[in-house]
Amino acid sequence: MKIAMPYLNGQVNPHFGQSREFVIFDTDGKQITGRKIINSQDFCHNHEGMAGLLKDEGVEVVITGGIGYSMIAALQGLGFKIITGASGDASRVAEDYLNGRLVTDNVQICGCGGHEHGL
């Protein structure tokens, strides 16, 4: 199974749509067996493009902090499992998910509308 997260300086990026990088973890059972960073800069706020990029990478699970409704719809349309409200060190989050220990905040939906946020 492959798990993807929006990535910023080793952490889960709190804003999915602005993430310029994603980390993809390869897993086997409860173990992380590999890790890859992909550049997603060309797909910021491009819902179908981002969902397609992750699908092409073989991702099945997306773990994120905040995410917008349109992005959720694009991911769900391609069959992804989506977990929201995650934060902290991306490797730790992946390990916690694999071992049933992931604790997330309430669902965090970004309804900001405008896309002029800065990083």
Please provide the size of the chain in residues: 119
Domain borders along the chain are 2-98
pLDDT digits (tens, 9 = 90+) for 108-119: 555 555 444 333
CATH architecture for segment(s) 2-98: 2-Layer Sandwich (3.30)
pLDDT digits (tens, 9 = 90+) for 1-43: 999 999 999 999 998 988 999 999 999 999 999 999 999 888 8
Spatial distance between the Cα atoms of 119 and 20, rounded to a whole number of angstroms: 10
Spatial distance between the Cα atoms of 25 and 96, rounded to a whole number of angstroms: 13
Computed over every residue of the chain, the mean pLDDT equals: 88
**Residue 29 burial by CB count (10 A; 0-12/13-18/19+): exposed, middle or buried?**
exposed
| pTM of the predicted model over 0.75 | yes
